[in-house]
Structure 1
Amino acid sequence: MIHLSSRSVLVCIASLLLAFSACKTKYWQKHDYQSSKLVIDQQIAPDSSLINYIAPYKQRLKAQMDTVIGQAAQMLPRSPNDGQSLGGNFFADALLALGQQLDHEVSCSLGTKFGIRVDIPAGDIQVGKVFELMPFENYLTVLTLTGEDLLELGQFIAKTDGQPVAGMSVTIKDQKLIAMRIQGNLVDKNKTYKLVTYDYLANGGDNIEGISAPIQRVDTQTRVREGLIAYIEGLTKKGKQVDARRDERIIIVQ
């Protein structure tokens, strides 16, 4: 027979109580409550302390955004017509120029018509307008592609009724690629080409086809927006205005 001391009995009872309490189901009581809506409108008085705190930063930012960096010779709309838009052509031309500064072997550029967010009005171009045009934190990217890759890209451009490009010509009929040229020459499947775009598209953004498996990819530290600002400032220093024209980069055959 096992004899337990009173101390041992108390320890056993405490252990059993703890074990049973741990397994016990807990029931939570729901309390009724009343919801209410807080209307945020002009009736709410501004917090003067907060306004005073941010005022210097706001003024400094506004001064930077209002800085005029160039002149647009005409309005450059972003909405395409027959595969092209003046805003898209300007954007692609700028990309190509920036890409060739990074690598002189870059021969063509690519953007997307939905990546350009606003029209560029005629007259003064302010820094803030470039932020509106390209508000994303995208970086310039140079891709080395095969001729077959470029033809696949050309078919994508065809079935989407044209995209902003420069350094290339794409002929389309019934949303199918008829011909594609780079710097005036038909694309050769056996050659390689360097294209400048930006990392969002190189990563598959906007469902781009033909550039997802490049032979080589070079991601730069240059934001597209910063590049555009520098490009426009460069034109201004040369006494040139920001402008674009329709040409044979996208040809839609009826």
Structure 2
Amino acid sequence: MKKIRLSLYLLLSIILFSCKGNKVETAEIKGQRIAIDENIEPNASIEEFVAPFKEHLNKTLDSTLAYNPRDMVKSDGDLNTAIGNLMADIVMAQANPVFKSRTGNDIDMVLLNHGGIRSGLNKGNISTRSAYALMPFENEIVVAELSGEKINEMLTYLERAKTAHPVSGIQIEMDQNYKVTSAEIDEEEIDEDKTYFVATSDYLQQGGDNMNFFKDPVALHKVDYKIRNSIIDYFKKVDTLKVDKDNRFIRK
């Protein structure tokens, strides 16, 4: 035992003495901020390589898909706007056939968010680039099965928001103080004993924009369809956009 202790003392002494001659210094790290702007000289060989792909991409993005007869912006209404109605109606029209083929049920209504409208649509030709400007995010359409109680929570949320969140499939009337006086889905009042299939974005379903009523639904169905792709597909199948402000979501 004594021999073991003596060996440990000797080993420790060797380590301590060997370290005395070593100096520890802090490494010096230098950095430089390089701005990514027009002052950077382009690489000719890279530009030449990319050119045909860029030309093809621009041609695809700028090809005309439909015609818009009037300017649409998201600030042109109190509780519903032409562009918001268009987006909600597109989600309903494009997602419902997929949802019904998978579940045998129809989507009852759509709710999106006003902030998700990222651009207007100018009068004139509408292209794929227009759809990317309108919806640049990768949000997917999902269908949440909500109880009638959750639908009423949604209405309370809309009262507080006082915002033109896009809807489709529901008729909402508010008084001048933004209190709901009437709400109908498929021309029937909300029944707390029923459940409703509500199409929205995966972002909102996860509580985005504080839409917490979407959390913990009775069931959640994926449609495997990006909102932007649904917009592009809709533009491809119509000749002229025919959407305006209406009475789906109003104050009286």
Q: What band does the TM-score fall into relative to the shorter chain? A: 0.7 to 0.9
Report the residue type matching 1:149 in the other structure.
K
Compute the TM-score of the two structures, normalised by the length of structure 1. 0.84
Question: Residue by residue, what CA displacement relative to the aligned partner does 1:159-212 show, whole Å, maximum 9, x if unpaired?
Answer: 111310011112223233332111222111111111111211111112113221
Q: 1:191 to 1:27 in 2, by over 3 A?
A: same
Please tell me whether residue 150 in structure 1 is matched to residue 151 in structure 2: yes
Query: What is the correspondence of 1:171-210 to structure 2 with a 5 Å cutoff?
Result: 171-173=173-175, 174-210=177-213
1:227 to 219, 230, 236: 230
The residue aligned with 1:249 is: 248
The residue aligned with 1:17 is: 14
Structure 1's unaligned 5+ residue stretches are 4-8
Retained in 2: the 8 A contact 1:158–1:175?
yes
Query: What is the correspondence of 1:2-13 to structure 2 with a 5 Å cutoff?
Result: 13=10
CA distance in 2 between counterparts of 1:32 and 1:191 reads 64
**Greater shift after overlay, 42-51 or 79-88?**
42-51
Report the residue type matching 2:107 in the other structure.
V
Shift of 1:52: 1.2
The residue aligned with 2:57 is: 61
Q: 1:46 to 1:196 in 2, by over 3 A?
A: same
The residue aligned with 2:141 is: 140
Retained in 2: the 8 A contact 1:76–1:243?
no
Retained in 2: the 8 A contact 1:74–1:243?
no
CA distance in 2 between counterparts of 1:107 and 1:21 reads 79
Report the residue type matching 1:197 in the other structure.
T
CA distance in 1 between counterparts of 2:22 and 2:40 reads 47
Shift of 1:112: 0.6
The residue aligned with 2:45 is: 49
Retained in 1: the 8 A contact 2:73–2:83?
yes
Retained in 2: the 8 A contact 1:158–1:170?
no
Shift of 1:18: 1.6
The residue aligned with 2:25 is: 28
Retained in 2: the 8 A contact 1:92–1:164?
yes
The residue aligned with 2:77 is: 81
Retained in 2: the 8 A contact 1:151–1:180?
no
CA distance in 1 between counterparts of 2:150 and 2:46 reads 54
Shift of 1:152: 0.7
CA distance in 2 between counterparts of 1:108 and 1:22 reads 74
CA distance in 1 between counterparts of 2:127 and 2:243 reads 18
Structure 2 counterpart SS, 1:154:
helix
**Greater shift after overlay, 166-175 or 81-90?**
166-175
Report the residue type matching 1:54 in the other structure.
V
Structure 2 counterpart SS, 1:106:
coil
Please tell me whether residue 98 in structure 1 is matched to residue 97 in structure 2: no
Question: Residue by residue, what CA displacement relative to the aligned partner does 1:225-248 show, whole Å, maximum 9, x if unpaired?
Answer: 111111121223xxxx11212221
Please tell me whether residue 168 in structure 1 is matched to residue 164 in structure 2: no
Give identity over the alignment, percent. 25
CA distance in 2 between counterparts of 1:152 and 1:24 reads 72
Compute the TM-score of the two structures, normalised by the length of structure 2. 0.84
**Greater shift after overlay, 139-148 or 45-54?**
45-54
Shift of 1:213: 2.0
Q: Which runs of 4+ in 1 moved over 4 A?
A: 9-15, 19-27, 29-33, 35-41
The residue aligned with 2:67 is: 71
Rg: which structure is higher? Answer: 1
**Greater shift after overlay, 194-203 or 173-182?**
173-182
